[in-house]
A and B are shown apart, each in its own frame.
Chain A
Amino acid sequence: MTSILTNLFDGVAYGMLLFVLACGLAVTLGLMNFVNLAHGAFAMAGGYVCMVLVNRMGWPFFAALPLAFVSSAAIGIVLERTLYRHLYARSHLDQVLFTIGLTFMSVAAVDYIQGSSRVFINLPAALQGQFDVFGVGIGRYRLMIIAICGLLTIGLQMVLAKTRFGSRLRAAVDDPRAASGLGINVPQVFAFTFAFGCGLAGLGGALSAEILGLDPYFPLKFMIYFLIVVTVGGSSSITGPFLASLLLGIGDVAGKYYVPKMGPFVIYTMMIVILIWRPNGLFGRTAAR
């Protein structure tokens, strides 16, 4: 019984992490209709920034986390202004080719600068180990992930649904022409959204170094997970990817625990079944574009 709860806890933490990593992709893909396969590269950038700050310059871990967000967002905004924006109107194939190229360049660049071995971020002692709650093992680090990611999710949902910026963004997505006619600066809204998504990925990258391991191949290794989250969740809102992340996180952990021989396949099997059942994802719009 207690192991069920521990697994559930681990699954939720894993799912939350996937969500923070992938929700930027859901935004660019779903809201801006842009296929950004280089998303993982922004996550990796955040992870490495955090690692350098903490391990080499002695920053405290919690001070380095926001910096991981800011630096990935800054890289995002520079690339958006200089490169990405020329590709918004291009076909999806062009976008895929461009961003996959960018991914390979980032892999090679990080490999060159930091070397190819896996790096770890030195954690404060308070985040290490596990404690017991009525016999259920709770990992401190994973608990922190759930807290941070949970707050972020609530915040994001509030911003999108309740604020003026949220409604501008939704308007810009639904009909860019009408939105600019109403005086909304569409390119600016997109640029900001893009940068925010990259920043979230950077934060996710910094958080995941401990659990998923951080090396220059991160963007390629986890690209498939991000895409699963977005395809299963549907890309029309952030609730979809959120629930999909949780489902996949819990499914993956439970699969590895209960049927270790089949473990790695569980996540893919779930994806196939869900997509056969609902081709637009769990929460996709039924009338696809």
Chain B
Amino acid sequence: MFERKQLSRTTIWAAAATAIAGLAAIAPVKAEDSVKVGLILPMTGGQASTGKQIENAIKLYMQQKGDTVAGKKIEIILKDDAAIPDKTKTAAQELIVNDKVHFIAGFGVTPAALAAAPLATQAKIPEVVMAAGTSIITERSPYIVRTSFTLAQSSTIIADWAVKNGIKKVATLTSDYAPGNDALNFFKQNFTAGGGEVVEEVKTPLANPDFAPFLQRMKDAKPDAIFVFVPAGQGGNFMKQYAERGLDKAGIKVIGPGDVTDDDLLNNMGDAVLGTVTAHLYSAAHPSQMNKDFVAAYKKAYGNRPGFMAVSGYDGIHLIYEALKKTSGDTDGTKLVEAMKGQKWESPRGPISIDPETRDIVQNIYIRKVEKVDGELYNVEFATFEAVKDLGKTKK
């Protein structure tokens, strides 16, 4: 037994030595005129649709704009973390130490973005968050810049809208993890301040097999509407059970941040979803020419509609390009973050900018209603709140 252990240890050392030698051989090949972006996304697991959309959007952007900026060739290195923070950390370490990337980007869920934060600080390279939506993220490292959204942005706005539109009693159903709690707290804060009443509050486990009992509780509480936040992939299941339980017929509306009616899944949810009002940063039906072109190009390349995650990825890579243009190809991380601050541009979602103080995104939040357009379900925007900052931070 002892001997075998010894043997295997030698084998491991030998393997390690070979690996190091291999790396050393690879390292000098690194060309000085390329810029490497380490993309860490969930490509497998429950959040895989997020990863896929962001990857697609980045590829699309690079096809449209070319892969050279400020004389440097952009090289994307994709790693799958399956939305597990431990894996995110390992992937980030490998990318920074072995591949010597100049940016880390992606991050499908909040815990993943947080896991990479200390590494971005240590390595002094920008971390571009393209999906995760909890307010605290950008406060965890001076190198974090976000192009997605925060839940505070959409939750406070839907709360204000609800108060103004005669919704007085609301029951809430939110997933029990950081973004869900953000959504709940910011909604509650604005809704109760405006005179509304939260009659029932339910937090569902993140891996929740069956919404039925929670929905029954909602139904019995007889609210005017239910405020819902579930992670993008669960929206379909939720809407199905909402309809099965007859909450739509009982006159209980669904409101919430737009995750529940993600464009990615919306069209398969069935007619029960009609009339759902959400506040969100992006709808594939956004009526700008730029968005029409973006949707058409995305559909042509990948066969389905882009969702808000795709747009966040598209804007994320755009920000990286613009930062490199501004530094004229200088890859010093601190300079790149400085260059990103205050960037303003027109995105498929509308005009957006990066807040120079918080490095978080400032964007329009749209109130949308699910309607049938040409036989397909879409979030049709009918009101706009312009240049919304992340209220999770401005309140402090």
B-contacting residues of A (Cβ < 8 Å)? 3, 6-7, 10, 14, 111, 115-118, 120, 128-130, 137, 139, 141, 210-213, 215, 217, 221-222, 225, 252-257, 260-261, 263-264
A192 CB → nearest B CB, Å: 31
In addition to A120-B236, A137-B246, A211-B210, 13 A-B residue pairs with Cβ atoms within 8 Å of each other are A10-B213, A116-B46, A116-B48, A120-B237, A120-B240, A130-B246, A212-B210, A213-B237, A217-B45, A217-B46, A257-B217, A260-B214, A263-B204
What is the number of residues of chain B that contact chain A, defined by CB distance less than 8 Å? 31
Interface of A is mostly: helix
Residue of B nearest to A55 (CB): B268
27 residue pairs A–B, Cβ–Cβ below 8 Å: A3-B216, A3-B220, A6-B216, A7-B213, A10-B212, A14-B210, A14-B212, A116-B48, A117-B49, A118-B233, A118-B236, A118-B237, A120-B236, A120-B268, A130-B246, A139-B245, A210-B240, A211-B209, A211-B210, A211-B212, A217-B45, A252-B213, A253-B212, A257-B214, A260-B203, A261-B203, A263-B214
Task: For the complex, give the distance between the alpha carbons of A211 and B208 in Å.
Answer: 11
Digit string of B38-55 for contact with A (CB within 8 Å is 1, else 0)? 000000111011000000
Q: Which residues of A contact B213 (CB under 8 A)?
A: 7, 10, 252-257, 260, 263
State the 10 A-B residue pairs at the shortest beta-carbon distance, nearest first.
A256-B213, A116-B48, A257-B213, A130-B246, A264-B205, A253-B213, A212-B209, A260-B202, A213-B237, A3-B220
The answer to the question of B29 belonging to the interface, with a C-beta cut-off of 8 Å to chain A, is no
Q: Which residues of B contact A252 (CB under 8 A)?
A: 210, 213
Task: For the complex, give the distance between the alpha carbons of A222 and B237 in Å.
Answer: 17
Residue of A nearest to B265 (CB): A117
Interface of B is mostly: helix
Q: Which residues of B contact A264 (CB under 8 A)?
A: 205
Task: For the complex, give the distance between the alpha carbons of A215 and B236 in Å.
Answer: 13
Task: For the complex, give the distance between the alpha carbons of A130 and B323 in Å.
Answer: 55
Q: Which residues of A contact B48 (CB under 8 A)?
A: 111, 115-117
Q: Which residues of A contact B209 (CB under 8 A)?
A: 211-213, 221-222, 225
A219 CB → nearest B CB, Å: 13
Q: Which residues of B contact A10 (CB under 8 A)?
A: 212-213, 216
B387 CB → nearest A CB, Å: 33
Known: A111-B44, A118-B237, A120-B240. A256 touches B214 (CB 8 A): yes
Residue of A nearest to B208 (CB): A264
Known: A117-B49, A212-B209, A264-B205. A130 touches B233 (CB 8 A): no
Q: Is the CB of A141 within 8 A of B244?
A: yes
Q: Which residues of B contact A3 (CB under 8 A)?
A: 216, 220
Q: Is the CB of A130 within 8 A of B244?
A: yes
Residue of A nearest to B201 (CB): A260
